[in-house]
Amino acid sequence: MIEMKNVSKWYGATQVLNDCSLNIDKGEVVVVCGPSGSGKSTLIKTINALEPVQKGEIWVDGVAVHDRATNLPKLRSRVGMVFQHFELFPHLTVTDNLTIAQMKVLGRGQDEAKQRGLKMLERVGLTAHKDKFPGQLSGGQQQRVAIARALSMDPIVMLFDEPTSALDPEMVGEVLDVMVGLAAEGMTMMVVTHEMGFARKVSNRVIFMDVGGHILEDTSKDEFFGNIEARQPRTREFLNKILPH
């Protein structure tokens, strides 16, 4: 579903992705972790070309993302993305947030868009808030709406860029629950997160990135958490810091 071959990216003279390659199959849930500054967020944003790359190839469902001739809006409309800071549109109601791209991008009629959007809103348990503005919702609720917004577009894959990092601790659970449900349904997901509980519970594979944009590990969840002694020193150091003692 997603294939990345030898991708490198620079901001000026600073290299932020260094020869990254990875593969995500349909239905897989892959967690990307690593210290800040390791390029995780940049990496996930290259998949829908929010961040362009200077070298390498990225393929999503057979579409060449790195190719300048590719119709990026069309590709992006099929790739759902959830951001650290939710990025709901504050000037639109929850319902309008859910329907605007369906109508303007996918060309759905208002009724169809609304029906689909509200179905997704129900799924994240927020039907009662459909007429509110994002500013009237808690962080956890906003992020659930953001997930519903992405799902309304019927994506073939979902990208999560630190979806719980900006949340108060007591709101992390409600967002993760939605994500666990999605994974259980077979959604292909790539998740940048420090939530190792989530990684352990639902991921198939774990990718570990280190400063400078290197992919240091790309291994099955069981191997990653079950055989810590076999991990790279940098990975062990990182895991020792963030796993509960």
CB of residue 6 to other proteins, shortest distance in Å? 24
The span from the CA of 169 to the CA of 207, in Å, is: 24
Decide whether 149 or 205 has the Cβ nearer to other proteins.
Answer: 149
CB of residue 136 to other proteins, shortest distance in Å? 11
CB of residue 143 to other proteins, shortest distance in Å? 12
Decide whether 24 or 79 has the Cβ nearer to other proteins.
Answer: 79
The span from the CA of 191 to the CA of 199, in Å, is: 9
What distance lies between CA 39 and its chain's CA centroid? 14
Residue from 168, 180, 99, 178 nearest 137 by CA: 168
Decide whether 60 or 199 has the Cβ nearer to other proteins.
Answer: 60
Decide whether 64 or 243 has the Cβ nearer to other proteins.
Answer: 64
CB of residue 216 to other proteins, shortest distance in Å? 27
Based on C-alpha coordinates, what's the Rg of the chain? 18
Decide whether 146 or 206 has the Cβ nearer to other proteins.
Answer: 146
Q: In this structure, are residues 33 and 205 in contact, taking their beta carbons and an 8 Å threshold?
A: no
The span from the CA of 211 to the CA of 166, in Å, is: 21
Q: In this structure, are residues 82 and 143 in contact, taking their beta carbons and an 8 Å threshold?
A: yes
Decide whether 50 or 180 has the Cβ nearer to other proteins.
Answer: 50
Q: In this structure, are residues 58 and 46 in contact, taking their beta carbons and an 8 Å threshold?
A: yes
Residues in touch with other proteins (CB under 8 A): 45, 48, 50, 73-81, 83, 85, 87-91, 100-101, 104-106, 135, 149-150, 153
CB of residue 125 to other proteins, shortest distance in Å? 22
Residue 40 CA: distances (Å) to CA of 66, 73, 141, 169, 209: 18, 23, 25, 22, 7
CB of residue 224 to other proteins, shortest distance in Å? 28
